[in-house]
Structure 1
Amino acid sequence: MSDVWPSIDPVLITSLQQLFKTPLQLQAAFDSEEDCYTLLTGHFPDLIDEDVRNASAEMIRWQSVSAPAFKRLRMQSVADGLFVLPSPQGIIDVRDSFSSITQSSTVVVLELASKKRQRKYKDEAPDVRAKKLDAERKKYTVFLANVIKTAKLPVVQIVESLDDPFSGWVHLFAARRANTLKNRYKSWRPFQNWLELHRGRIFPLNCKDIIDYMQFRVDEGCGKTVPESFSIALNLIEVLGRVPEDQQLSKESLWLGHVKSWSAELAADSPPRRPAEMYTVAMIVALELTVEDEFETIFARALAWVVLVMVWGALRCDDIQSVLPHRSHFSRFGLRLLLGKTKTTGPDKPQKEVIAHVHRTISLSGVDWLEIGHDIWKSDAFSYRRDYLVMEPRKDWEGVRRKFVPPSELSSLIRKLLSSLRVPTFRNSRWELAPTQLLLPDGLEMHFSGHSPRNFLTSVAALLGFSKDMRAYLGRWSIGMTSSEEYVRTARQVVYKIQKAVNRSIVEGRDDEYFEDEAIESVCKAAEASGANPNRIRRRHTIMNTLSGHNCLGQVFPTITLAEDDGQVVTETDQDVDPVLLEEDARSMLAATSKSREEKDVGGERQGHSRGVKLHCIVLVDVSGP
Structure 2
Amino acid sequence: MADQLPDIAGYLWTQGFGPREMATLEVADSWAIAGQIAFELNVPHSDKLEQAVVEIIAAAKEERNLLLWTEGVLAGDLAWMSLASSSRAPLRPWLDDRPPPAKKVKKLLASGEERVLWTRHLADELDAIGAPVVKSIGECLDPDRAYEMLPGKTRSSTLKRYVTMYKRWRLWLQEAKRVDPPSRPADLVDYLLVLRDEPCARTVPDSLLKSISWMERVGEFKAELRATSGRVAWAAKDKIVEALYEGAPLIRRAPRYPVMVLVVFKRVVLDDSEPTGLRIYAWAKLVKVWASLRWSDLQAIRSGELKLVEGRLVTTLRRTSGPNRRIKEMPLGVSEAAFFENPSWLRIGFELLQWLVTFSRDYLLPKLNLAVFEKKMAEYADAVVVSAAILQRAGMPAIVQGFWTEHSERSVLPTGLSVLGVNGPEKDLLGRWKVRYICQVVWWKGRQVTVEVRSGGPKGNRYHTLDEREVASSLQDWLK
Tell me if TM exceeds 0.5. Answer: yes
Instruction: Quote the residue 1:467 is aligned against.
Output: 422
In 1: Cα distance, 2:446 partner to 2:120 partner: 43
Q: Which residue of 1 aligns with 2:474?
A: 522
Q: Provide the C-alpha distance between the structure 2 equivalents of 1:139 and 1:322, rounded to a whole number of angstroms.
A: 24
Specify the alignment match of 1:588 in structure 2: none
Equivalent residues in 2 for 1:288-303, closer than 5 Å? 288=266, 298=277
- Gaps spanning 5+ residues in structure 2: where? 1-53, 67-105
Kindly indicate whether residue 330 of structure 2 is the aligned counterpart of residue 374 of structure 1: no
**Which aligned pairs between 1:41-440 and structure 2 lie closer than 5 A?**
135=110, 139=114, 142-143=117-118, 145-152=120-127, 153-156=131-134, 168-177=146-155, 180-181=158-159, 184=162, 187-188=165-166, 191=169, 205-207=183-185, 210-270=188-248, 276-281=254-259, 283-285=261-263, 287-288=265-266, 298=277, 304-316=282-294, 320=298, 323=301, 326-340=304-318, 354-360=330-336, 362-363=338-339, 368-375=344-351, 377-378=353-354, 384=360, 386=362, 389=363, 398-401=373-376, 415=384, 417-425=386-394, 437-438=397-398, 440=400
Q: 1:457 aligns with which of 399, 413, 431?
A: 413
Tell me the SS of whatever aligns to 2:331.
strand
Displacement of 1:374 in angstroms is: 2.5
User: d(CA) in 2 for partners of 1:208 and 1:286?
Assistant: 59
Q: Name the SS of the counterpart of 1:360 in structure 2.
A: coil
Shift of 1:310: 2.0
Q: Distance in 1 between matches of 2:265 and 2:294?
A: 17
- The amino acid of 1:468's aligned partner reads N
Contact 2:268 2:274 in 1 (8 A): no
Q: Residue in 1 aligned with 2:26?
A: none
Q: Deviations over 1:577-606 (max 9, x none)?
A: xxxxxxxxxxxxxxxxxxxxxxxxxxxxxx
CA distance in 2: counterparts of 1:370 and 1:317, whole angstroms:
18
3-state SS of paired residue (1:231): helix
C-alpha contact 1:192 1:202 (8 A) present in aligned 2:
yes
Counterpart position of 2:403: 444
Q: Counterparts of 2:145 and 2:236 in 1: how far apart (Å)? A: 37
Q: Is the Cα–Cα contact under 8 Å of residues 460 and 514 in structure 1 kept in the other structure? A: yes
Deviation at 1:522, TM superposition (A): 0.6
SS at match of 2:455: helix
SS in 2 for 1:232: helix
| CA–CA separation in structure 2 for the residues paired with 1:376 and 1:287 | 15
Q: Measure the CA separation in 2 of the matches of 1:44 and 1:339.
A: 60
Name the aligned partner's letter for residue 213 of structure 1. Answer: Y
Q: Which amino acid counterpart does residue 261 of structure 1 have in structure 2? A: K
Whether 1:498 aligns to 2:452 is yes
Tell me the amino acid that sits aligned with residue 355 of structure 1. Answer: P
Q: Is the 8 A contact 2:257 2:412 kept in 1?
A: yes
How big is the alpha-carbon RMSD for the aligned residues of Structure 1 and Structure 2?
5.4
Flag the 1:189–1:376 CA change in 2: closer, same or farther, 3 A: farther
Which residue number corresponds to residue 532 of structure 1? none
Partner of 2:84: none
| Helix, strand or coil at the partner of 1:249 | coil
Q: How far apart, in 2, do the equivalents of 1:233 and 1:252 lie?
A: 16
Residue in 1 that maps onto 2:48 = none
Q: For residue 336 of structure 1, report the CA deviation from its aligned partner.
A: 2.0
Greater shift in the superposed pair: 186-195 or 166-175: 186-195
Mapped contact 1:287–1:304 kept (Cα < 8 A)? yes
- Which structure would you say has the larger Rg? 1
| 1:243-300 Cα distance to aligned partner (Å, 9 max, x none) | 33332222254423422332343345546667542223454355446667898695x7
Query: Unaligned regions of 5+ residues in structure 1, if any?
Result: 1-40, 54-130, 426-432, 529-626
Relative to 1, partners in 2 of residues 1:255 and 1:516: Cα closer, same or farther, differing over 3 Å?
A: closer
Q: Is the 8 A contact 2:292 2:409 kept in 1?
A: yes
8 Å contact 1:393–1:400 — kept in the other structure? yes
For residue 314 of structure 1, report the CA deviation from its aligned partner: 2.5
Q: Distance in 2 between matches of 1:369 and 1:133?
A: 44
Secondary structure at 2:333 match in 1? strand
More helix by share: 2
Residue aligned with 2:228, SS: helix
Contact 1:250 1:256 (8 Å CA) reproduced: yes
For the residues of structure 1 that align with 2:272 and 2:336, how far apart are their CA atoms?
Answer: 20
1:132–1:288 distance in 2 versus 1, CA, 3 Å: farther
Shift of 1:216: 1.6
Q: Is 1:319–1:342's contact at 8 Å kept on the other side of the alignment?
A: no
Which residue identity is paired with 2:121?
N
Q: Is the 8 A contact 1:335 1:359 kept in 2?
A: yes
**How many Å apart are 1:218 and its aligned residue?**
0.4
User: TM-score when scaled to structure 1?
Assistant: 0.47
Secondary structure in 2 aligned to 1:174? coil
SS at structure 2 position matched to 1:284: helix
Question: Which secondary structure does the structure 2 equivalent of 1:251 belong to?
Answer: coil
Distance 2:364 2:118 in 1: 30
**Distance between the aligned counterparts of 1:200 and 1:380, measured in 2?**
70
For residues 369 and 198 of structure 1, the distance between their equivalents in structure 2, rounded to whole angstroms, comes to 65
* Residue matched to 2:5: none
State how far apart, in whole Å, the 1-side matches of 2:358 and 2:170 are. 46
Instruction: Tell me: CA distance 1:237–1:481, structure 2 relative to 1, closer, same or farther (3 Å).
Output: closer
Post-superposition Cα deviations, 1:79-120, rounded to whole Å, max 9, x if no partner, equal: xxxxxxxxxxxxxxxxxxxxxxxxxxxxxxxxxxxxxxxxxx
Contact 1:377–1:383 under 8 Å retained in 2 = no
1:220 maps to a residue whose letter is E
